[in-house]
Amino acid sequence: MLRFVLHRLAYAVPIIVGVSLVCFLLVHVAPGDPASALIPDDTPPEIAAQIRAAYGFDRPLPIQYLTWLGNVATGDLGLALSTRRPVIEEVLPAVANTLRLAAGAIVLACVAGVVLGTLAAYRAGRTSDRAISAIGISGMSVPQYWLGIVLVIVFSVELGLLPATGMGHPDAGLAGQWQHMILPTITLATVPAGVIARSVRSAVSEVLQQEYVQALEAKGLPAAWIVLHVAKNAAPALLAIMGLQFANLLGGSILVETIFAWPGSGYLLNSAIFLRDLPLMQGTVLVLALFFVLANLAVDLLQMALDPRMNSARRGSG
Amino acid sequence: MIHDQKTLAAASPIRSRGFLADMGRRFAHDPITLGAGGVLLVVALAALLAPWIAPADPNATSIVNRLRPPGTPGHPLGTDELGRDLLSRVIWGGRLTLFMGFTPVVVATLIGGFLGILAGYAGGWVNSAIMRGMDVFYAFPSVLLAVAISGALGGGLVNGLLALTLVFIPPIARVAESVTLQVRTQPYVEAAVATGASATRIVVGHVLKNVAGPILVYASSLISISIVIASGLSFLGLGVSPPDAEWGLMLSSLRQSVYVAPVNAVIPGAMIFLTSLCFNTMTDGLRHALNVKE
């Protein structure tokens, strides 16, 4: 067990280094260099060269990368060009706002997906199963940036029930902001809910065909108890899928936050791109990607804790 | 070995009736898949034949006819914020939207398939080098990677295509590698090695034939995602640039008018949804017809 945990942790290190390298290179594949946004077009070349030297942009790329990596390791992501504030101070509050939406959305997606998927598996082949399949594939296929606009049209423009954009007063807390969270949370939850419902249906119907379930039925165990056995055996596979859906949430948040003007990391990334604020863009991408790597790590470890079979299989294969 | 015999036993009755005929028969008995295919055919034909069937010039503006509702005489779907005919723009928009959705998947299938088969067949350090590199890109959520790359490159059609292609290479390479690993240990590959066939001959003659199916089925499931993300890039202003007609871009500009013309604003996005839904339905049907288990 400990060996696998260490093995999995060690595997995450090169991935994190690779992710940081991609984020570093992102700024260097951009047309011009990171300094060009700072330097007005009519600057004399010698002054432009001085500015580049001051920021270290004249040094070889590997040296620049190591310097940057050293700064990142100490939490210094540089200065945002647009606000002149440290990037980290811009990114962290935005990520916190993103996570508030993502937390609500993942709960909603899991509840809806598990309930619908289980129902479909128990009623396999019937009309309700087909209806749920249709809902699942629609949820999976919908462009969230369109669904968000449709929800705004229905609930904000036509019915006037919910606010269309923003997050309310920043200090209002949940009590003053929950109305602002409803539409973006639902929008964000649709794709994961569709995917989870489909996976739950196939995982549960597979377990239902197992002999031990038939044995439990033959024994006369009430259906409610059998569900517990089914849930326990379908759980590890589902956990892996839910973990993957976290990627959908972080990715989806970029478009969803833009539609609802929710001040999260996706909204920040989008504005950084349009202001050509490369350090801010780089910092946001890096923090989001690291978050995703750590979430995957957590899911893998949790899955192993839940499923003893996996543990022994890993040990067997070395 | 036992497992191999089972697979052979399961596969033989399908082979004997003719693989394609059998697949076609299953498709024909699947009205939902056929319906989805029919809708896609109409959308694709409309996009291909746009110059001949679009009722109006998609770029002809008319300030007096701005944001007319659907059903207006001469404008069956109404007009947009510059008075352009929405039906014509939806028909023309299908061209760029489908092109931007398809191209990255096709290119990524070629590159990712090559890398995955190479990694799976060569094994050893070649495998490690390729697959660990893929893992790094896999560590980014796909939309984040697409937005980050096209954002850094400065947006535009070509950069959007490039970003999406890079997004789809790692997952395709992973699938290609894992099916190649399975095929490599099959007795017929061992037999080919024993007869002294060259590596190229084995890969082209035996491995490729057997891994192409699973790779293509997987790649086809990426088309709907690719269309949704590609239109999303244009929606954010990172893909197709105005005044070209593209569904994501149309949604983005009509979005400013939701209070005046909500139905018009919904139409381009509904097309993205319809196309993506039909592709996913087709992929489900394809999996079913090919008996692919997930």
At residue B99, the pLDDT reads: 94
Which of A189-198, B9-18, B30-39 reaches the highest mean pLDDT? A189-198
- 3-state DSSP assignment of residue B273: helix
- Between the CA atoms of A86, B141, B104 and B289, what dihedral angle is there, to the nearest 10 degrees? -170
**The pLDDT of residue B16 is above 70:** no
At residue B197, the pLDDT reads: 83
Contacts 24+ apart (CB under 8 A), A49-54: none
Structural domains in chain B (count): 1
pLDDT tens for chain A, 318 residues long, are 677 788 888 888 888 999 999 998 888 877 766 666 667 777 788 887 887 777 777 778 888 888 888 888 888 888 887 788 888 988 999 998 898 888 889 999 999 999 999 899 888 888 888 889 899 999 999 999 999 999 988 988 878 777 777 777 666 666 667 778 889 999 999 999 999 999 888 888 888 888 888 888 888 888 778 888 888 877 877 787 887 787 778 888 899 999 888 888 999 999 998 888 888 999 999 999 998 888 888 888 887 777 766 555 544 443
- Alpha carbon distance A9, B288 (integer Å): 38
Confidence of residue B2 (pLDDT cuts 50, 70, 90): very low
Chain-wide mean pLDDT for chain B? 85
- Alpha carbon distance A60, A63 (integer Å): 6
Interface check for A160 against chain B (CB to CB < 8 A): the answer is: no
**Residue B211, in any domain of the structure:** yes
Confidence of residue B3 (pLDDT cuts 50, 70, 90): very low
Confidence of residue B5 (pLDDT cuts 50, 70, 90): very low
At residue B209, the pLDDT reads: 85
Question: Model confidence over B158-210: pLDDT tens digits?
Answer: 999 999 999 999 999 999 999 998 888 888 888 888 888 888 888 888 888 88
Nearest neighbour of B144 by CB, restricted to A27, A153, A285: A285
- Alpha carbon distance B73, B65 (integer Å): 11
> C-alpha angle with apex A197: A194 to A200, nearest 5 degrees?
150
- What is the DSSP secondary structure assignment for residue B64, as one 8-state letter? G
* A286 to chain B: closest CA residue: B140
Between B15 and B242, residue with greater pLDDT: B242
- Alpha carbon distance A25, B233 (integer Å): 21
**How buried is A316 (Cβ within 10 angstroms: 0-12 exposed, 13-18 middle, 19+ buried)?**
exposed
**Residue B17, in any domain of the structure:** no
- The ipTM value here is 0.86
Q: Where are the alpha helices (DSSP H) in A123-222?
A: 127-141, 144-151, 173-208, 211-218
Chain A residues closer than 8 Å to B276 by CB: 141-143
Amino acid of residue A133: S
User: The whole model's pTM is what?
Assistant: 0.87
> Locate tokens 């196939």: which residue?
A202
The phi-psi region of residue B198 (left if phi > 0; otherwise alpha if psi is between -120 and 50; otherwise beta) is beta
Nearest neighbour of B152 by CB, restricted to A29, A152, A255: A29
**Residue B16, in any domain of the structure:** no
Q: Which domain holds residue B88?
A: 22-64+77-290
At residue B6, the pLDDT reads: 42
The phi-psi region of residue B141 (left if phi > 0; otherwise alpha if psi is between -120 and 50; otherwise beta) is beta
Beta-carbon separation of B232 and A255 below 8 A: yes
Beta-carbon separation of A292 and B139 below 8 A: yes
- Alpha carbon distance B5, A30 (integer Å): 54
Nearest neighbour of B224 by CB, restricted to A141, A254, A289: A141
- Whether A283 contacts B148, CB under 8 Å: no
Instruction: Work out the minimum CA distance from B132 to partner chain A, whole angstroms.
Output: 8
> Using CA of residue B67, residue B73, residue B77, residue B83, what is the dihedral sign?
negative
Nearest neighbour of A157 by CB, restricted to B232, B258, B273: B258
- 3-state DSSP assignment of residue A29: helix
At residue A172, the pLDDT reads: 65
Nearest neighbour of A149 by CB, restricted to B258, B276, B281: B258
- Between the CA atoms of B114, B116, B121 and B124, what dihedral angle is there, to the nearest 10 degrees? 120
**Residue B120, in any domain of the structure:** yes
Other C-beta atoms closer than 10 Å to the C-beta of B20 total 8
- CATH assignment of the domain containing B40: 1.10.3720.10
At residue A180, the pLDDT reads: 83
Taking chain A, what is the end-to-end CA distance rounded to the nearest angstrom?
Answer: 12
**The pLDDT of residue B112 is above 90:** yes
Phi, psi for residue B69 in degrees, rounded to 5: -70, 160
**The pLDDT of residue B12 is above 60:** no
**Residue B3, in any domain of the structure:** no
Q: If you average pLDDT over residues B30-38, what whole number do you get?
A: 87
Residue (of A296, A199, A132, A143) closest to B141 by Cα position:
A296
Peptide linkage before B243 cis (omega within 30 of 0) = yes
Other C-beta atoms closer than 10 Å to the C-beta of A239 total 17
Q: B186 vs A199, B5, B93, B193, CA distance in Å? A: 30, 11, 47, 11
Q: Where are the alpha helices (DSSP H) in A209-277?
A: 211-218, 223-260, 265-274
A with B: how many residue pairs have Cβ under 8 Å apart? 132
Other C-beta atoms closer than 10 Å to the C-beta of B104 total 27
Chain A residues closer than 8 Å to B137 by CB: 22
Beta-carbon separation of A251 and B255 below 8 A: no
At residue B241, the pLDDT reads: 85
% of chain B at pLDDT higher than 70: 92
At residue A34, the pLDDT reads: 65
Instruction: Work out the minimum CA distance from B200 to partner chain A, whole angstroms.
Output: 30
Q: What's the token pair of residue B37? A: 């295919």
At residue A60, the pLDDT reads: 81
Interface of B with A (CB under 8 A): 132-133, 135-137, 139-144, 147-149, 151-154, 224, 228, 231-232, 235-238, 248, 251, 255, 258-259, 262, 265-266, 269-270, 272-273, 276-277, 279-281, 284, 294
Nearest neighbour of A145 by CB, restricted to B142, B232, B238: B232
- Alpha carbon distance A63, A74 (integer Å): 17
Q: What's the token pair of residue A317? A: 């294969």
At residue B171, the pLDDT reads: 93
Other C-beta atoms closer than 10 Å to the C-beta of A211 total 7
Instruction: Work out the minimum CA distance from A305 to partner chain B, whole angstroms.
Output: 22
Interface check for A61 against chain B (CB to CB < 8 A): the answer is: no
Instruction: Work out the minimum CA distance from A139 to partner chain B, whole angstroms.
Output: 9
Amino acid of residue A206: E
At residue B56, the pLDDT reads: 80
Question: Model confidence over B205-233: pLDDT tens digits?
Answer: 888 888 888 899 899 989 999 999 999 99
Interface check for A65 against chain B (CB to CB < 8 A): the answer is: no
At residue B98, the pLDDT reads: 94
Chain A residues closer than 8 Å to B142 by CB: 247, 251
Q: If you average pLDDT over residues B273-285, what whole number do you get?
A: 92
